[in-house]
């Protein structure tokens, strides 16, 4: 999806001048098309405000409409367009915690406090929630969807329970988390970014996959190796592990790069760092 498709699909008022798509700037609330989106560089520059962060500004233009925000993940110079929203799981035979429902205000507040857009998390990653009427009370239920099937889940507490993540009991699973990669279905091109946890993958967006735990199985290595361009984004204290993974990927064609990050956890990265990681995935 290119920028013109995105503006048209979401009914955003613009004028076009060559490669520039001019819109009402959400930052200075102008009504004269002062904001300029450059369709080749994917940058945003306002006549009054100057250069502003591309993604956040466009999110503000569409007023955080989750589908429009979601579609921003597909905005690129390239024409390739993949509609993730159509990728509903084919079946749900995995057993979920009792009373797994849509996320409530309490779950949304937890997500907002961690810097996530709750609507986006629910819509894109199919995250659900539980309340006190569950065998896993007050958790985000994070499905592991692989080849369009929910094979397992993990459940993150939203109330400071000492067990932060509760994993799906083995006998409830359709397949092991360790035979798949979290968010692998959303890798749209031949570029993949490997992170450790599901929330790291949410932060970076489609194209990032999580190994879900410290050990990386041979099956996971071959799934990663099937992609030609591979980035490893692990915590700084896991440098050894990143190098070991890169060594294990040497038998596959393509290339593997380790990205060093300053934060102790990719989920804590600043927006500008996240944007540069996303740009690597868009290449
Ligand atoms: Zn402006």
User: 33 CA to middle of ligand 1, Å?
Assistant: 9
Decide: pTM greater than 0.85: no
Tell me which residue range forms the domain holding 120: 86-177
Which of 81, 101, 127 is the last residue before a domain boundary? 81
Indicate whether 73 and 153 sit together in one domain: no
Q: Per residue in 217-261, pLDDT tens?
A: 999 999 999 999 999 998 878 889 999 999 999 999 999 999 988
User: 35 CA to middle of ligand 1, Å?
Assistant: 6
Indicate whether 193 and 277 sit together in one domain: yes
Indicate whether 114 and 165 sit together in one domain: yes
Q: Per residue in 109-157, pLDDT tens?
A: 999 999 898 988 998 899 999 999 999 999 999 999 888 788 999 999 9
Phi, psi of 2 (to 5 degrees): -95, 180
Q: What pLDDT, on the 0 to 100 scale, is given for residue 283?
A: 65
Which of 47, 62, 81 is the last residue before a domain boundary? 81
pLDDT reading at 98 higher than 90: yes
Q: What pLDDT, on the 0 to 100 scale, is given for residue 79?
A: 44
Closest C-alpha to 91, from 153, 129, 146, 148: 148
User: 219 CA to middle of ligand 1, Å?
Assistant: 49
Partners of 156 in beta bridges: 140, 165
User: 24 CA to middle of ligand 1, Å?
Assistant: 8
The structure tokens listed for 165 are 């993540």
User: 25 CA to middle of ligand 1, Å?
Assistant: 5
Q: What is the CATH number of the domain that holds 125?
A: 3.90.980.10
Which of 177, 192, 225 is the last residue before a domain boundary? 177
Indicate whether 77 and 104 sit together in one domain: no
pLDDT reading at 81 higher than 60: no
Number of independent structural domains in the chain: 3
Helical packing angle, 218-225 and 239-248, nearest 10°: 70
């Amino acid at each position: 999806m290119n920028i013109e498709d995105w503006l048209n699909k979401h009914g955003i008022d613009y004028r076009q001048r060559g490669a520039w798509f001019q819109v009402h700037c959400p930052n200075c609330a102008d009504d004269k098309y002062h904001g300029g989106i450059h369709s080749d560089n994917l940058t945003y520059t306002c006549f009054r405000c100057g250069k502003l962060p591309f993604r956040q500004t466009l999110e503000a233009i569409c007023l955080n409409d989750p589908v429009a925000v979601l579609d921003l993940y597909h905005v690129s110079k390239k024409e390739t367009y993949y509609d993730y929203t159509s990728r509903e799981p084919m079946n749900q035979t995995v057993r979920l915690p009792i009373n797994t429902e849509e996320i409530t205000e309490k779950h949304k507040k937890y997500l907002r406090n961690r810097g996530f857009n709750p609507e986006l998390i629910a819509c894109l990653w199919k995250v659900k929630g539980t309340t006190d009427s569950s065998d896993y009370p007050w958790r985000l239920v994070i499905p592991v969807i692989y080849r369009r099937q929910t094979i397992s889940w993990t459940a993150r507490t939203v109330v400071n329970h000492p067990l932060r993540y509760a994993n799906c009991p083995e006998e409830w699973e359709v397949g092991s988390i360790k035979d798949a990669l979290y968010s692998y279905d959303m890798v749209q091109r031949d570029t993949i970014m490997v992170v450790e946890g599901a929330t790291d993958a949410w932060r970076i967006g489609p194209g990032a996959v999580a190994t879900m735990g410290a050990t990386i199985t041979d099956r996971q290595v071959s799934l990663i190796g099937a992609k030609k361009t591979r980035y490893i984004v692990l915590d700084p204290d896991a440098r050894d592990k990143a190098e070991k993974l890169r060594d294990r990927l040497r038998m596959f064609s393509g290339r593997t790069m380790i990205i060093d990050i300053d934060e102790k956890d990719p989920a804590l990265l600043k927006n500008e760092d996240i944007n540069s990681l996303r740009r690597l995935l868009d290449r």
